[in-house]
Structure 1
Amino acid sequence: MTSPDHEPKREPAFAPDIELAAEPVLERDPEPVLELARERAHHDACRAALARMAEDVAEQVVTGEDVAASGADAEALGYHLRSRAKAFGEQPPGPLFFGRLDREDGQTLHIGRRRIAEDPASPPLVIDWRAPVSRAYYQAGAHDPQGVVRRRRFGWAPYSQGDSADLTGLEDEYLRSGPGTAGEIVTREIERPRTGPMRDIAATLQPEQDDLVRSGPAVSLCVQGAPGTGKTAVGLHRAAFLLYTHPQRVRRSGLLVLGPNRTFLSYISEVLPALGESGIRQSTVDEEIARHEVRAEDGEAAALVKHDARMARVLRTALYARVDTAPAGPLTVPDGSYHWRLTADELARIVTAVREEAPPYATGRDRVRDRVVRALRLQAERRAGPLGRAWARRIERARPVSAFVDGCWPKVTPEEVLAGVLTDPRDEALTPDEREAIRWARPPRSYRSARWTAADLVLLDELAGLIERPEGYAHVVVDEAQDLSPMQCRAIARRVAFGSLTVLGDLAQGTTPWAARLWREQLAHLGEPDAEVVPLTLGYRVPEAIVDLTNRLLPALGADVAPTISLRAGGEVTRTATESLVEGVVEAVAKALTRQGAIGVIAADPMVAPLARALAGTLDEADGRVTLIPATLAKGLEFDHVVVAEPAAIVAAEPRGHHRLYVVLTRAVSRLDLVHSEPLPVSLGGAARAANASASPMSSRKSRSSSSSPVAASRTWR
């Protein structure tokens, strides 16, 4: 065991890699050797118990097939058992616990990503990190021990598949002995080089992140997170927490994770399965509203108008303009030898009352029919006495009733209504120029042959929601929410009308033409105007040198956000001026490959193709370590080393180019190279020189660069 803070300091029992043996360090201190052996033995016991749990679940599936019950009960039971078996089968390999609590009452609790026990009635060998008793692992401290005497963290070999021999070290924090530190294990885990998809952070959640993760299912909140603050991880861990604490409520209506693009969703795809949750829908807004294939493209002016919140009013007006609240004449319905009659005034009152109730359009049509039939039934029952349901169904289908409903509240499709709006936009909510911008230059012969744009699909979804309310989700996690248009926000709000939201984003990273300027306005469009906005400004991943550089861009962004505070000292920022941009990038990538970690090469979209040709051989030989991506797809990704090709071109490529450059620069979590043949943007040049003032030039014949000295230092997070 490691010593409490008041005892003399000793070497931590930690080896960073499985290849580095722990014994040389531990030989000087036999106690950690014994503790490490005990913990490895406990892990072996946990592994055996988990295998038995998987076998039991598989056996239950077979047994459940023979259980005598009704068809519905048997189907529900079978689905439940098969789902459990699938969850066990999809559990990724890895260490079964990452922490331990020793409590004042004598309990010893191992904390992991899922509960493990010998059998359901036995005390657990590992407690799920989401269980209430586990909260002390993240929240307890010297100021509030919460009944904890010692918190232990375990160091596992990088990329461990869960072999007990991969447990290479442990660190103890005695909460009664004064303020503790995050220690080498937490520091190494947070700063570990990035390869492959995003990892979960269950082992390293910080108190302020844990507070957000454990918010209740009815709470909607917005996390304004600076780069590297873990906002995406917080959203995904909150999803896992809700699925654990309210499984019936959440799974009944579903949980949806919305990302900005498929590249981002691929990057985060393994986080929830690693936390024991599978089968969660992960999608984009465009995929959720895809009624048709996108076959046309809007000009900038048209797209801006179509994404504007005023279009909701335009579409509602166009839809309900089809309702006729003043029927021309009475309704007469034959019924055998009788004829039942409603006057035009009675019909007008029915239609007007339904219209004022503002139900979904299809619901309103049904209400009109039901109330007309009810009025006719009252007449019939005064003459013939009580009438059954069969009579009502026959009258509902009577031709005069159907003709009246079709005339006053006709059936429509979203495509039909939108085609009318785009063919001849007349609504005064738009200016003449705006109406002209969205007008079809060459209207199709029919809405069935229309070529829809991406923005049109957003409008079609709005109309579909006006006609018939879509099924909602219990909870929706929305990442990069600052880039959503008001109309896209409304599409999300319709899908969570009776649920809750976790909204994640950073106003400084808004890159779309309609990007949010204020969270309160964006939350209003999302249907949660009173949701709490929680800022995260402490950066755990992006190091100080890079944060200092990117903070210099904030004045040019016009975003009301606080500068990021990095808790990681060091980092490297290199500025390389070169005559040949392509050769400079190739050289920078070759140099980056001599060091550990994933490498991202990011360039303005038009530059990606020539760089891909120049880097073809390198990409093939780098074993997946090098990724070339356009700047427009960089959001949400992280790389240990980022090579930015021509920052000025990224700025010039779009109206919110400075925001895009801010996104690109903050993808680096250790080292950042700015390779340029043009002058750096004014907002960046001074910062780059300041960050690299002490560097020496490169020896390359065609390039000159400077780099801040890397600083290796661990910091305290608690």
Structure 2
Amino acid sequence: MSENVQSAYQEEQTKLDSVLEEIGTQLARLRAIPVYTGHDFTEQVLEAGREERRQRLSKSEPEPYFGRMDFEEEGKAPTVPLYIGKTGLDGRDPGSQPIVVDWRAPVASLFYSFTGGEERIEYEAPEGWISGTMHLKRNIMVRKSELERVVDTYTRGGEEPAVSDEFLLYRLGENKDNRLRDIVSTIQAEQDRIIRAEKNKALIIQGVAGSGKTTVALHRLAFLLYQYQEQVSAGKMIIFAPNGMFLDYISGVLPELGVGDIQQRTFTDWAAKLLGVESMLADPSETLDFWFGRAGGPAPDNEAPGRFKGSDAFRSMLESAAAALEVSGAPELEFSPWEEKTLPYETILHWYAEEYKHYSAAGRKERVLARIHRWIEMELKPVKPETLRKEYKKKAAQREKAYAKKWPDFSPLTLYKQIFGAAKDTRGILPSEALEAIPASVLKSTRKDLKEGRIREEDLPALLYLHLLLNGVEGAERFDHIVIDEAQDFSPLQISVLDRFVRGHSFTILGDLSQGIHAYKGVHAWEEMSELFGEEETSYHALTRSYRSTLEIIGFANTILSGGVPNAIEAVPVFRSGNKVRMIEFNPKMKAENTEGDEGILAAAKALRLLWGREHKTVSLLTRTQEQAAALHEALQSEFPELNLIDGNMTQYEGGLSVLPLHLSKGLEFDAVVIADAGLQNYGESEWDAKMLYVGCTRALHELWVLHGGATPTFLDNQGEWSEAGWPKV
């Protein structure tokens, strides 16, 4: 250790001791105050504030801060070291300099945006732009209250160049467990710009595999809650993720950042519950098995129900059907509760079409029927004698009930059935020329599903849209901000629907078109989403730097893209070198030496045996289909009893050793990945096949082995410097 490094280390150790002592003192003082359990509202508020500080101090004690910067504000002196942490720590005296600055504070943005140089820098504060000079930027690693590492990434006037990547590479080289972690200490400048972007815009983030886009979105939620705390609340924010297992994988990030109560759901679960159709949902595995077991990739757009039902053309059909139903809502009938008493149709129509026109169709129906009921009550009051009034009342109740049944059912499911000709009531059926625009296969299969009481995932956006058209949206249903992960798998209609549920187009929409393996339902270009908003309402960001995988793995994956996906956005790797990718052909000798099992199973077993023995925390075996994953799990379980089989119904990711179909691995990352069989029998030459393998390869942080039984797609051939053939020497 050099003299300068040793001096910096000693300085930071002294500072850490001082901060930990202060945290301990503040915690002891708070814990000494008895917890209030009474009913006085003022005391309850005070106790909630004390408990929040207790929790915050306890959470910050193991790692009170991760960075330091010595910033000299223009016109002020002297330069004061600012320590940056996940949560702020105030001094004891009101108005004193914070002991630790919250990473979301305006001045902390300099820690992320400053990358070196002698020129003046500035940041935006509530009182305006503040400029000054950076003298020192230092990364500090504290774990379990112990100082582990001190790295100066910039020293003004120093002879050494900035070394900002050293600390980043150190953190990236660590093995992963079964949870995504926060990146507060290593947020990069381009990520920080997204995190701190204004609230009322639809941010569309194209991020290559490993660019940290999911983590950035989660940090953005924490920032919005800090920056706009008077306007937004955690309970009014929601994250839509692809499946329950992925939600479990990311579940630890927000609590680490001190944020709770944010909803985390799949779109399917949320939409089905709102519509009340959970029991009608078809098993999604049927759809997945169909598409991912299909050779040559997804069908053309007009054969894929998800693409058609998520299209602008279908949205127009839904609007036409809802509008036609709404116009014809009030039945062309007068209402007579008893003989010689009549409410004219013209009066009922006036109520429906004029007096209540600002309500939704369902709301208008409800108010008109309620008004008719009040009219009956008013007309009954002067009727005498009492026996006659009772007779009229009984007759009116029967006729009122019969009349209400003549009104259309404004439920979205009923109208949806009518559109597809799956209901006896034909009021919502589209004109024949409109029906002809629906692909015959889509019309036939959807009509069959609806008649059998079955709804598929691709029907939910349309049903939600009809719900909005017919019922509107309640204030309690609106969100302050929506995050959509893996957004390339969402349809334009889904985004249109969600835009009605969020205030001010406040979205963070993130994904990667190169990972668009659900092309049968998702978008093929981000313009399909950005066109839904005004130019001033959207902001597009591209994250091209990958922090997940080694240089060799990213190079290998990029070669797949360049050879199989036209105009794909390739990842720019952080210079973190590791082992070359292994291209391993099944060894025929293995079959001769082992009487049981085929070459593929034996090769997979050998790969797991070698990789699991290298002290990796997470190793995954990726297959093309769920059926293949189940078969491998059964064949390997006797040797690897800890091997977890993952399917789409799982809501927890346990880490360790796992086997799963490739499409479920999206968003996850593993220390080592084995592609079970990348031969032509599983992956063809299509763009979709290339995207599938790209997804699988980019799950690996440190090691990637690609098994195959012979010929492989051309985009896997000639990988040159990124790979080598055969098993590693043991």
TM over 0.5: yes
CA offset at residue 325 of structure 1? 5.3
Secondary structure at 2:184 match in 1: coil
- What is the match of residue 270 of structure 1? 252
When residues 593 and 435 of structure 1 are mapped into structure 2, their CA distance, relative to the original with a 3 A threshold, is: closer
> CA separation in 2, counterparts of 1:151 and 1:311?
58
Query: Are positions 1:549 and 2:556 aligned together?
Result: yes
> CA separation in 2, counterparts of 1:82 and 1:408?
60
- What is the match of residue 300 of structure 2? none
- What is the match of residue 466 of structure 1? 469
- For residue 660 of structure 2, the aligned residue among 613, 625, 629 is 629
Query: Are positions 1:163 and 2:163 aligned together?
Result: no
Letter in 2 for 1:583: L
User: Is the CA contact (8 Å cut-off) linking 2:582 and 2:704 kept in structure 1?
Assistant: yes
Residue range with higher mean Cα deviation, 325-334 or 139-148: 325-334
Residue range with higher mean Cα deviation, 266-275 or 191-200: 191-200
Residue range with higher mean Cα deviation, 458-467 or 216-225: 458-467
- For residue 514 of structure 1, the aligned residue among 518, 521, 524 is 521
Letter in 2 for 1:613: E
- What is the match of residue 417 of structure 1? 415
User: Is the CA contact (8 Å cut-off) linking 2:673 and 2:705 kept in structure 1?
Assistant: yes
Matches within 5 A, 1:55-454: 62-63=35-36, 65=38, 67=40, 77=45, 80-81=48-49, 84=52, 88=56, 91=59, 94-104=62-72, 105=77, 106-119=79-92, 121=94, 122-140=96-114, 141-142=116-117, 143-146=119-122, 147-156=132-141, 160=143, 162-164=144-146, 166-177=147-158, 180-251=162-233, 254-290=236-272, 291-293=277-279, 294-295=281-282, 303-304=305-306, 305-319=308-322, 321-323=324-326, 324=328, 327-330=331-334, 343-353=344-354, 359-366=359-366, 368=368, 406=404, 409-424=407-422, 426-427=429-430, 428=434, 429-440=437-448, 443-444=451-452, 450-454=453-457
CA offset at residue 235 of structure 1? 0.8
- For residue 566 of structure 1, the aligned residue among 553, 569, 573 is 573
User: Is the CA contact (8 Å cut-off) linking 2:235 and 2:262 kept in structure 1?
Assistant: no
CA offset at residue 569 of structure 1? 4.5
> CA separation in 2, counterparts of 1:232 and 1:372?
53
Letter in 1 for 2:278: H
Query: TM-score normalised to the size of structure 1?
Result: 0.77
Secondary structure at 2:89 match in 1: coil
When residues 443 and 66 of structure 1 are mapped into structure 2, their CA distance, relative to the original with a 3 A threshold, is: closer
Secondary structure at 2:65 match in 1: coil
Secondary structure at 1:656 match in 2: helix
When residues 56 and 277 of structure 1 are mapped into structure 2, their CA distance, relative to the original with a 3 A threshold, is: farther
Secondary structure at 2:451 match in 1: coil
Query: Are positions 1:485 and 2:498 aligned together?
Result: no
- What is the match of residue 676 of structure 1? 708
When residues 101 and 699 of structure 1 are mapped into structure 2, their CA distance, relative to the original with a 3 A threshold, is: closer
CA offset at residue 32 of structure 1? 3.8
When residues 354 and 540 of structure 1 are mapped into structure 2, their CA distance, relative to the original with a 3 A threshold, is: farther
Query: TM-score normalised to the size of structure 2?
Result: 0.76
Task: Kindly provide the CA deviation profile for residues 355-402 of structure 1, in whole angstroms up to 9, marking residues without a partner as x.
Answer: 976x5333333465688899999x99xxx9xxxxxxxxxx9xx96996
- For residue 642 of structure 2, the aligned residue among 620, 627, 632 is 620
Secondary structure at 1:511 match in 2: coil
Secondary structure at 1:351 match in 2: helix
> CA separation in 2, counterparts of 1:254 and 1:464?
20
> CA separation in 2, counterparts of 1:626 and 1:497?
43
Secondary structure at 1:663 match in 2: helix
Supply the RMSD in Å over aligned alpha carbons: 4.1
- What is the match of residue 540 of structure 2? 533
Secondary structure at 1:552 match in 2: helix
Residue range with higher mean Cα deviation, 621-630 or 207-216: 621-630
Give the number of aligned pairs: 637
Task: Kindly provide the CA deviation profile for residues 531-589 of structure 1, in whole angstroms up to 9, marking residues without a partner as x.
Answer: 12111112233332222222223356556443222232533211111141222222222
CA offset at residue 484 of structure 1? 1.3
Letter in 1 for 2:697: L
CA offset at residue 36 of structure 1? 2.2
> CA separation in 2, counterparts of 1:332 and 1:520?
55
Unaligned runs of 5+ in 1: 1-24, 385-394, 445-449, 702-718
Query: Are positions 1:611 and 2:627 aligned together?
Result: no
> CA separation in 2, counterparts of 1:181 and 1:442?
61
Task: Kindly provide the CA deviation profile for residues 105-151 of structure 1, in whole angstroms up to 9, marking residues without a partner as x.
Answer: 32111101001234472432111110011111111231444434333
> CA separation in 2, counterparts of 1:465 and 1:123?
51
User: Is the CA contact (8 Å cut-off) linking 2:685 and 2:713 kept in structure 1?
Assistant: no
Letter in 1 for 2:352: V
> CA separation in 2, counterparts of 1:431 and 1:697?
49
When residues 523 and 355 of structure 1 are mapped into structure 2, their CA distance, relative to the original with a 3 A threshold, is: farther
- For residue 604 of structure 2, the aligned residue among 580, 585, 589 is 585
Task: Kindly provide the CA deviation profile for residues 580-617 of structure 1, in whole angstroms up to 9, marking residues without a partner as x.
Answer: 12222222222223435432221222321232234433
User: Is the CA contact (8 Å cut-off) linking 1:220 and 1:528 kept in structure 2?
Assistant: no
> CA separation in 1, counterparts of 2:728 and 2:157?
55
Unaligned runs of 5+ in 2: 123-131, 292-302, 383-392, 424-428, 588-598, 645-653
User: Is the CA contact (8 Å cut-off) linking 1:507 and 1:559 kept in structure 2?
Assistant: no
> CA separation in 2, counterparts of 1:313 and 1:111?
51
CA offset at residue 654 of structure 1? 10
Task: Kindly provide the CA deviation profile for residues 632-690 of structure 1, in whole angstroms up to 9, marking residues without a partner as x.
Answer: 1110111232111112355359993322211111112222111111322112212x345
> CA separation in 2, counterparts of 1:624 and 1:508?
26
CA offset at residue 489 of structure 1? 3.0
When residues 529 and 89 of structure 1 are mapped into structure 2, their CA distance, relative to the original with a 3 A threshold, is: same
> CA separation in 1, counterparts of 2:351 and 2:91?
66
User: Is the CA contact (8 Å cut-off) linking 1:138 and 1:205 kept in structure 2?
Assistant: yes
Secondary structure at 1:651 match in 2: coil
Letter in 1 for 2:715: S
> CA separation in 2, counterparts of 1:441 and 1:550?
40
> CA separation in 1, counterparts of 2:33 and 2:363?
44
Letter in 1 for 2:456: T
> CA separation in 2, counterparts of 1:612 and 1:346?
70
Secondary structure at 1:247 match in 2: coil
User: Is the CA contact (8 Å cut-off) linking 1:479 and 1:504 kept in structure 2?
Assistant: yes
> CA separation in 2, counterparts of 1:527 and 1:647?
43
- For residue 640 of structure 1, the aligned residue among 671, 674, 685 is 671
